[in-house]
Structure 1
Amino acid sequence: MTQSILEKLKGGLVVSCQALENEPLHSSYIMSRMAYAAYLGGAVGIRANTIEDIIEIKKVVDLPIIGIIKAEYEDSQVYITPTLKEVQALVECGVDIIAVDATDRIRPDGKSLDEFFKEVRELYKDQLFMADCSNYEEGIHAAEIGFDFIGTTLHGYTDYTKGVSLPNYDLVQALVKDCGKPVIGEGGIWSPEQLKRVMDCGVFTAVVGTAITRPMDITKKYVEALKA
């Protein structure tokens, strides 16, 4: 099964189909149609948030799913699959890959990433895990402690990486060269040209979300261009 998932994802495009509660397209049904449209367009995988969305998406597309649960806790800035509770729910849902925040920040339960992932890996030895990282050091460390995929998802979204230019091709290239694990390019890919350049850096696969599945943000980008 693992080899089959890898073969399906390698060299292709993963489309992130997500809409939070405060967004106009928040609906598991709508996200399932987004995923189906992505599938018809040639996507090789889907990244999705919440068990409800994942269940609906799995009804309409037979593609590998990178699953996450975004959950906010008062005592931590970590919100992408932050605790064992979210990991367990995703395992039970049967997602192919589980993505978790792998930044150098304390998790809601007070644990470090190392403590958290050691527990997770012992419980779910056969599950594939993706590390959502924000810089080079986090990516290298995530590879060292046993993550299966290293992603650049959170580059620009932590306090210590805010304001960077995205996509960061240098970061992607460095991780591909040094981490020893398949790298997933994600974050700030707004055009086919940028996607091609990220792929040319040697990544295993790449994720595009907002530029494809968030029409409100796409519209804002066009409107800002008019104002400029």
Structure 2
Amino acid sequence: MVQASDWQTILQGGLVVSCQAPATSPLHQPSVIAAMAEAAVLQGAVGVRIDSPAHIEAVRPRISAPMIGLWKQQIPNCDVYITPQIVHANAIAQAGADIIAIDATTRPRPEGETVAALIDHIHHQLHRPVMADVDTLEAAIAAVAAGADCVGTTLYGYTAATQHLKPPGFELLKDLVQHLSVPIICEGGIASPQMARQSLELGATCVVVGTAITGIDLLVQAYCKTLLS
């Protein structure tokens, strides 16, 4: 586990690799995700982003780098799905996540849950820093006011308020850097090393890349679709 005071220094200026796979993919096996994560760190990634307790638990013995943990959960009649409730945060903390990522958009949440209460629980009961995944500057400001330790552009383009926009959210990134004093993480739509570098030049503390590195299923689909069209 990474000391709570060290994660920002370790992540500064580096690459975090999101090691995830669709539930229907053979790559979804915990051992495969763990191998991806270890390979990423061995090649220079400063951290990884991992979904679900089972995958976090599999990755934890393989790396000492910071792990951003989350748990995607589909809740009926609720669009919030990234670590939506306290019970999900508890599970990924127990599995070994160093930082807990949550959906911090302003969308309606599960009954009885608030962003502020979730952050407070993660801080005081789980003793972990919180990454607030947001879609807008408004959501980011509210998340930081509620105590979020860092903010990610993760949900830019993936909510009703931003569905007309296409990641990467460089405009949002610039706004976050200008208005907030916490670390800002650029995540979503980074498709090349040059784009990753651009995010750092715009002021991001670090950059998270997923599909462009580990998204074998989606990448193969895209190649085949183009070749067969």
Q: TM-score range by the shorter chain?
A: over 0.9
Consecutive unaligned residues in structure 2, runs of 5 or more: none
Matches within 5 A, 1:188-227: 188-226=189-227
Q: For the residues of structure 2 that align with 1:172 and 1:13, how far apart are their CA atoms?
A: 16
User: Does the CA-based 8 Å contact 1:106-1:113 persist in structure 2?
Assistant: no
SS at match of 2:154: coil
User: Does the CA-based 8 Å contact 1:130-1:147 persist in structure 2?
Assistant: yes
Matches within 5 A, 1:1-228: 1-124=3-126, 126-226=127-227
Q: For the residues of structure 2 that align with 1:199 and 1:148, how far apart are their CA atoms?
A: 18
User: Does the CA-based 8 Å contact 1:13-1:45 persist in structure 2?
Assistant: yes
Q: For the residues of structure 2 that align with 1:163 and 1:26, how far apart are their CA atoms?
A: 30
TM-score (normalizing by structure 2): 0.92
Deviation at 1:202, TM superposition (A): 0.9
User: Does the CA-based 8 Å contact 1:102-1:138 persist in structure 2?
Assistant: yes
Deviation at 1:55, TM superposition (A): 1.2
User: Does the CA-based 8 Å contact 1:136-1:171 persist in structure 2?
Assistant: yes
SS at match of 2:5: helix
Kindly tell me: are residues 225 and 199 of structure 1, through their superposed partners in 2, closer, same or farther at Cα, counting changes over 3 Å? Answer: farther
Q: For the residues of structure 1 that align with 2:62 and 2:119, how far apart are their CA atoms?
A: 32
Q: For the residues of structure 2 that align with 1:74 and 1:105, how far apart are their CA atoms?
A: 14
Q: For the residues of structure 1 that align with 2:64 and 2:137, how far apart are their CA atoms?
A: 33
User: Does the CA-based 8 Å contact 1:17-1:31 persist in structure 2?
Assistant: yes
TM-score (normalizing by structure 1): 0.93
User: Does the CA-based 8 Å contact 1:28-1:53 persist in structure 2?
Assistant: yes
Q: Pairwise CA RMSD of aligned residues?
A: 1.7
Consecutive unaligned residues in structure 1, runs of 5 or more: none
Deviation at 1:34, TM superposition (A): 0.6
Deviation at 1:23, TM superposition (A): 2.7
User: Does the CA-based 8 Å contact 1:83-1:109 persist in structure 2?
Assistant: no
Kindly tell me: are residues 62 and 192 of structure 1, through their superposed partners in 2, closer, same or farther at Cα, counting changes over 3 Å? Answer: same
